Structure 1
Amino acid sequence: MPDYHDRVNMLIGEHCSVDALNARLQGEGDAISIMDDFSGVPDMERWKSFCDAWNRECFDRAGVRREITCTRFGAGHRAALHLYSADKAHLFFGWLASFRTAVVRGDTDMASQYASYRGLGLVGAGPFLFSLLLYLHAPECYFPYRRSYALALATIMGEEAESLTPFSPESYALYCKGCSAFRETFNVLPQEVDFLLRELAREGTA
């Protein structure tokens, strides 16, 4: 199996500055504060602020400090809830409030939580958003999931790709276990995992 330590260390050295880490940590903290205020009633301005917070990014390229932007997971990730019908928005915000209450209580039965999430029938709100909400709750345990991340992780850690894709509660549990092993192997922080997997996937690792 190839040794990716040099490549990971180079990516960290070039792009994972203190500014980048602080922007992500502050964004995640702001997102949690906003999520705790969701009452179950649709509030699109608060939703946009929530998405902008967890999408906050700032990293260096060639030693030049970039402005803080909302592009950590892509420029378009406000999940387009403003396109949903009023009924769907009410369903989603109601689910989000109950989800947050449940995970704070320690109820992280992933199978039932994901089933209720899928049952909302929201177009475009797939595994990524669900995994992100879990990640914000416990970054040491859960990680944002995308198929490209899972394939890159499988290649780097010598896992079977079929065990990590497609998304299911079972494959996500294995993915999170793999991300934790990735963190330990390469000595990286939770806030660096998605960036590193994204960059390694772009390079054709997967």
Structure 2
Amino acid sequence: MLGLALSACGPRVFEADTAKVIETAPPPVVAAPAPKQPRVEITDDKIVIHEKVQFDYNQARIRPESDDLLAELATVINGAPRIKKIRIEGHASSEGDHDYNVDLSRRRAKAVVDHLVKRGKVDPARLEFEGYGPDRPIADNETEAGREANRRVEFTILEQAYKETKTIIDPATGQKRVETEDKIDASEEQP
């Protein structure tokens, strides 16, 4: 009985007429690492960044730690020729003077445009910018976490090309033909 109990704890040995076969347990299954979440992705009407563009305090100067993020953003924009026009939008928290915050958010949006054009080689005709200051909050300005969320840069797609495909049936013959037409969709949202 003891032999049976011990045999369950290690490799199993089988003896044949001329050879000894040792069966070992299969290697453990290693789970594949979770796919890395993209930092930049295109939705229907936005280019979403999952990190913040960092600026020097109270300045429109982009911090070096945002260079890689903006390089990735430029790659996404340059790789999506269907996107014809993007508005870079600067936003601020409600702390401080309203007019100053609108101006600062506008200067920050322009700094992002300048960075994308100069370093990312994005066609400047595809970009425009606007500063909204504290006028479009996404979080509560009563908490520090909310104010931090409101300090942001967003990328709204204003125009993009698409193909419209129609199937036309000839009523006389019943024959089908497919027509494809290039179109430009201009967003209805304007500042």
TM-score (norm 1): 0.25
TM-score (norm 2): 0.26
The structure number with the bigger radius of gyration is 2
Higher strand share: 2
Higher helix share: 1
